[in-house]
Chains A and B, each alone.
Chain A
């Protein structure tokens, strides 16, 4: 609740016990990203590998979580199975409010359970339950079973992994309440390593609000901005899938393993097409009235005589890029069908799609064949990709086990590194240019969300290394502030510095509000220090040749500009991390 310290539940899965810890630092790091870094510093090891049972899996919320609209995200931090370095992944669903109402600012999970287990945590509950019978169970079936096993319908969050996480696949994500994900950099494998199939967070506490009318009035004002001002229209209407047609138009949408950046077939998988023929309904994270979650449907005839089943699959820009345009799938139901398998298996759809795109081109170039892929891969072949997705999740053979650890790892053995679409991890869907490529390759999470490099590319024609790097550093710090509160980044236009200070002040966080300008940069430094201590070398991430050779609306990439940007951003990160926190 509102307090000058963090209240954190630290659980040891090996003993099935936990303890509440009170941790200082609230005004310095706020929560979320800042708290997660603080907790990794306290409970994690920079010397031991990701799969040491002692390494913590951390979930953290912020001081504004639940108190204001769109303060609805949770930061998950861990030593990445993909990188073997410190990282974060973010998700919403009900996770953030459930943690708030479990009266926890943070949840730290250490140790390894003796059998496949489910952790149940609430304001008055802590249990580690044996769920060995769920071994190999897919994400959706797991959700159904867990809902029947534990109470709290509507006011709980169920985080779980699929077969990919259990297999230790480094592209395995953590599913949050069916439609959201801590997707990237292997959180699912970090959970699987702990023999932890699921985490049920029961949000069953009640808190008294501060006296006076300030909070209610401010809430109403923010609510109005989120629902009536038009600021969130993009997310509310077509959702992030609206970007597909836009990026295709400016020749910045990766197609068929980035062999092209535009294609007339976009009309089959545009946001408009999804909304028109495959959108079933919308959903929301708890505490967010925008409802950006777009749930599509796809039906499957499983037997003759018109026997059908149907699937509900949430789609967004990124999975449509990764499992659609990147794989040459040009119709909505095909994308949803492949995405459904990725969801069930508990794979990060973005990484898995980009990895299979590489495998398809490697097949075209005869570098690999059915001996590796089992099913022949061909761009546009929906059924082949559905099967390959299962092979990837199950680490079916040596090839898939390697590919599941990262496309570059497979390319190191089979060749084809020059056309692996990897920028630190499998790329996000923006062929916008040198600033984005630098941003993802060197960014803290190797994510398009680390800073707005893709946006900078679109707004700046000039090639000014200093200005671009300054933007990346500043924008990352601004986002660190938001992810420490923890706001959805879609609300970054709403939550400016002044409004954040007002919100904090309204809750009594006066010192935090007055020191707001320093929190973002401080958290940014903390995170980079951990990342570097766990092995990251800024400025050295390999950017494959394909990124240097593509063309978009600006024309051909400028290789020397890209190299200069990467070197300069790497220097900036090293300087950042060297500063005192």
Chain B
């Protein structure tokens, strides 16, 4: 089972192509919010960018916090989302320690499904799909292995 990783965010140019792709292709939205990955500047544009996205917890606190079972643990990490079960309470948003879940003004929540649709739209190859549980996961943050 593969998960989305961000091994080379120090290459990010802040174009938001990943967020826009997720919103467009997965959620049928024009948005940089309703996406499983969202880009922020880290302390202003002069210090680069960070990506808020699901880090594929093996025991996801968001799923544990969900009172209706709309979020449930996914094999390999992260969660499976069942939209029909979601009541928009926002408990998952509060439970996520890395601010990976976005809730829109209608209460709908958006979290990375680890589908990888965003990866091909990153012009600097900051993103990757990697096998869950790989010890290399999170390593190579300078991106040298991807040149």
**For residue B104, which residues in chain A have a CB less than 8 angstroms away from its CB?**
206
Are the CB atoms of A287 and B40 closer together than 8 Å?
no
Are the CB atoms of B121 and A289 closer together than 8 Å?
yes
Rounded to whole Å, the gap between the CB of A512 and the closest CB of chain B is 18
Contact of A206 among B17, B31, B46, B49 (CB under 8 A): B31
Rounded to whole Å, the gap between the CB of A141 and the closest CB of chain B is 11
Rounded to whole Å, the gap between the CB of B35 and the closest CB of chain A is 10
Contact of A155 among B32, B43, B46 (CB under 8 A): B32
The reply on B59 being an interface residue by CB < 8 A is: no
The reply on B137 being an interface residue by CB < 8 A is: no
Q: How far is the CA of A275 from the CA of B43 in the complex (A)?
A: 25
Assuming the contacts A223-B121, A289-B15, asked whether A209 and B34 have C-beta atoms less than 8 A apart, the reply is no
Q: How far is the CA of A523 from the CA of B20 in the complex (A)?
A: 30
**For residue A290, which residues in chain B have a CB less than 8 angstroms away from its CB?**
123
**For residue A227, which residues in chain B have a CB less than 8 angstroms away from its CB?**
123
Q: How far is the CA of A178 from the CA of B47 in the complex (A)?
A: 12
Are the CB atoms of B15 and A207 closer together than 8 Å?
no
Are the CB atoms of A209 and B14 closer together than 8 Å?
no
Q: How far is the CA of A209 from the CA of B24 in the complex (A)?
A: 7
**For residue A312, which residues in chain B have a CB less than 8 angstroms away from its CB?**
46
Contact of A285 among B15, B29, B48 (CB under 8 A): B15
Rounded to whole Å, the gap between the CB of A230 and the closest CB of chain B is 14
User: What 1/0 flags go to B23-65 for Cβ under 8 Å of A?
Assistant: 1110011111110001111011110110000000000000000
User: What 1/0 flags go to A140-155 for Cβ under 8 Å of B?
Assistant: 1001100100000111
Q: How far is the CA of A227 from the CA of B48 in the complex (A)?
A: 21
Q: How far is the CA of A147 from the CA of B25 in the complex (A)?
A: 31
Rounded to whole Å, the gap between the CB of A181 and the closest CB of chain B is 13
Are the CB atoms of B38 and A287 closer together than 8 Å?
no
Are the CB atoms of B31 and A154 closer together than 8 Å?
no
The reply on A196 being an interface residue by CB < 8 A is: no
Are the CB atoms of A178 and B44 closer together than 8 Å?
yes
Are the CB atoms of A284 and B15 closer together than 8 Å?
yes
Assuming the contacts A144-B44, A154-B39, A179-B45, asked whether A288 and B28 have C-beta atoms less than 8 A apart, the reply is no
The reply on B74 being an interface residue by CB < 8 A is: no
Are the CB atoms of A216 and B123 closer together than 8 Å?
no
Residue of B20, B29, B39 most packed against chain A (CB within 10 A): B20
**For residue B33, which residues in chain A have a CB less than 8 angstroms away from its CB?**
101, 155, 204, 206
**For residue A143, which residues in chain B have a CB less than 8 angstroms away from its CB?**
44
**For residue B28, which residues in chain A have a CB less than 8 angstroms away from its CB?**
208-209
Contact of A203 among B32, B44, B121, B124 (CB under 8 A): B32
The reply on A34 being an interface residue by CB < 8 A is: no
Rounded to whole Å, the gap between the CB of B143 and the closest CB of chain A is 12
The reply on A414 being an interface residue by CB < 8 A is: no
The reply on A335 being an interface residue by CB < 8 A is: no
Q: How far is the CA of A69 from the CA of B122 in the complex (A)?
A: 12
Q: How far is the CA of A101 from the CA of B29 in the complex (A)?
A: 12
Q: How far is the CA of A97 from the CA of B39 in the complex (A)?
A: 14
Q: How far is the CA of A100 from the CA of B23 in the complex (A)?
A: 15
The reply on B16 being an interface residue by CB < 8 A is: yes
Rounded to whole Å, the gap between the CB of A339 and the closest CB of chain B is 15
Are the CB atoms of B13 and A66 closer together than 8 Å?
no
Q: How far is the CA of A147 from the CA of B43 in the complex (A)?
A: 8
Are the CB atoms of A291 and B15 closer together than 8 Å?
yes
The reply on A177 being an interface residue by CB < 8 A is: yes
Q: How far is the CA of A153 from the CA of B30 in the complex (A)?
A: 18
Are the CB atoms of B30 and A209 closer together than 8 Å?
yes
Are the CB atoms of A97 and B44 closer together than 8 Å?
no
**For residue A69, which residues in chain B have a CB less than 8 angstroms away from its CB?**
17
Are the CB atoms of A67 and B30 closer together than 8 Å?
yes
**For residue B48, which residues in chain A have a CB less than 8 angstroms away from its CB?**
281
Rounded to whole Å, the gap between the CB of B102 and the closest CB of chain A is 9
**For residue B40, which residues in chain A have a CB less than 8 angstroms away from its CB?**
153-155
Q: How far is the CA of A179 from the CA of B45 in the complex (A)?
A: 8
Are the CB atoms of B24 and A208 closer together than 8 Å?
no
Q: How far is the CA of A290 from the CA of B13 in the complex (A)?
A: 9
Contact of B38 among A101, A154, A206 (CB under 8 A): A154
**For residue B39, which residues in chain A have a CB less than 8 angstroms away from its CB?**
154
Are the CB atoms of A286 and B30 closer together than 8 Å?
no
**For residue A291, which residues in chain B have a CB less than 8 angstroms away from its CB?**
13, 15, 123-124
Question: Which residues, 272 to 289 on A, are CB-close (under 8 Å) to B?
Answer: 281-289
The reply on A215 being an interface residue by CB < 8 A is: yes
A93: nearest chain-B partner, CB-CB: B45
B39: nearest chain-A partner, CB-CB: A154
**For residue B45, which residues in chain A have a CB less than 8 angstroms away from its CB?**
177-179, 283
Q: How far is the CA of A306 from the CA of B109 in the complex (A)?
A: 51
Q: How far is the CA of A140 from the CA of B45 in the complex (A)?
A: 11
**For residue B32, which residues in chain A have a CB less than 8 angstroms away from its CB?**
97, 101, 154-155, 203, 286
User: What 1/0 flags go to B99-129 for Cβ under 8 Å of A?
Assistant: 0000011000000000000000101100000
Rounded to whole Å, the gap between the CB of B104 and the closest CB of chain A is 5
Rounded to whole Å, the gap between the CB of B66 and the closest CB of chain A is 22
Are the CB atoms of B46 and A286 closer together than 8 Å?
no
Question: Which residues, 45 to 79 on A, are CB-close (under 8 Å) to B?
Answer: 66-67, 69
Rounded to whole Å, the gap between the CB of B137 and the closest CB of chain A is 24
The reply on A293 being an interface residue by CB < 8 A is: yes
Q: Sample 12 A-B pairs with CB under 8 A, ordered by A number.
A: A1-B30, A66-B30, A101-B33, A155-B38, A155-B40, A206-B31, A223-B17, A281-B13, A283-B45, A284-B14, A287-B20, A293-B13
Q: Closest 3 CB pairs between A and B?
A: A154-B40, A284-B15, A291-B13
Kindly list 14 other residue pairs between chains A and B, CB separation below 8 angstroms, not including A97-B32, A154-B14, A219-B24: A124-B105, A147-B41, A154-B16, A155-B33, A207-B31, A208-B28, A227-B123, A281-B13, A281-B48, A283-B13, A286-B16, A286-B32, A288-B15, A312-B46
